Amino acid sequence: MVAAAIPQFRPGGQPAHHLSEELLLAYATGGLSEAVALVAAAHLTLCPSCRAELARAQAIGGALVEATPPVAMQAGALDRLLARLDQPAPPAEERLTAGSRDRDIPGPLRAYLPADAENLPWRKVIAGLYEYKLDLPGHQGMASLLRIIPGKAMPQHTHRGHEMTLVLRGDFDDKTGHYGAGDLALTDDTVDHQPVAGAHADCIALAVTDAPLKLTGTFGRLLNPFIRF
């Protein structure tokens, strides 16, 4: 059982915590892993100012392609291609809709969810903290939706690599700041933190790490072998 109803709205306003320049550039060039690209695409859906940055990065990428010294195509490439022009185009890419119809969950993420957030098979991690693991074959770290009941503190933890946490509903605080819907918290192994969910609603967040979490609090150490983030 999940303790509190999930509010079906995302409070207005735009995110205050954004993709780093490096991540944005890597998204633009296609250099991110599937899991990290998922977080980036989901944040971009919720963040017009990062979309403006992306448009700039893509324009620069286009200009760099334009400026690159051309490499001659193989002999006959144009003729082979011209011969294919009259073949019917493949059907437009199907949008992956999966099972979630939540209109506030970014489309790139909905594609990974079998049901609405309310009906996901949440697994209890500890009292007040629930997890739904995304199916991301080959991903080394954690890639999950986390759901934290109001006022609940996550186990204190640090990371061996990087952690990206995108708030989808509700909000949380940790010593690095306040994070509401659309905000992206980026932490690395220098940050030992303990996010606490806001008092008024469940906090649902997409959390992706490139290495397993390392729990640091007393409670955390005790739980570590069981959590298997």
Does 83 bind another protein (CB under 8 A)? Our answer is no
Q: Which stretch of DSSP H or E encloses residue 52?
A: helix 48-67
Taking CB under 8 A as the criterion, which residues in 127-146 touch another protein? 136-138
Residue 1-30 contact track with another protein, rule CB under 8 A, x = bound? -------------x------xx--xx-xxx
3-state secondary structure 165-193: EEEEECCEEECCEEECCCCEEEECCCCCE
Does 85 bind another protein (CB under 8 A)? Our answer is yes
Does 46 bind another protein (CB under 8 A)? Our answer is yes
Residue 115 tokens read as: 């049901």
- Measured CA to CA, the distance from residue 18 to residue 185 in angstroms comes to 8
- Residue from 1, 5, 66, 121 binding another protein (CB under 8 A): 66
Residue 141-180 contact track with another protein, rule CB under 8 A, x = bound? ----------------------------------------
- Residue from 3, 59, 83, 222 binding another protein (CB under 8 A): 59
Nearer to another protein, 28 or 197 (CB): 28
Does 64 bind another protein (CB under 8 A)? Our answer is yes
- Residue from 6, 19, 44, 142 binding another protein (CB under 8 A): 44
Does 94 bind another protein (CB under 8 A)? Our answer is no
Class of residue 5 by CB neighbours under 10 A (exposed 0-12, middle 13-18, buried 19+): exposed
Q: For the range 119-128, what are the long-range contacts, defined as Cβ-Cβ under 8 Å and sequence gap of 24 or more?
A: 120/145, 122/2, 122/147, 125/227, 126/155, 126/223, 126/227, 128/3, 128/152
Does 34 bind another protein (CB under 8 A)? Our answer is yes
- 21-29 and 48-67 are packed helices; what angle lies between their axes, rounded to 10 degrees? 60
- Measured CA to CA, the distance from residue 17 to residue 205 in angstroms comes to 14
Does 107 bind another protein (CB under 8 A)? Our answer is yes
- Measured CA to CA, the distance from residue 144 to residue 96 in angstroms comes to 19
Q: Could you give the residue ranges of the DSSP H alpha helices within 118-157? A: none
Does 47 bind another protein (CB under 8 A)? Our answer is yes
Residue 217 tokens read as: 């609090």
Binding site for another protein (CB under 8 A): 14, 21-22, 25-26, 28-31, 34, 37-38, 40-42, 44-49, 51-52, 54-56, 58-74, 77-78, 80-82, 84-85, 89-90, 95-96, 102-111, 136-138, 182
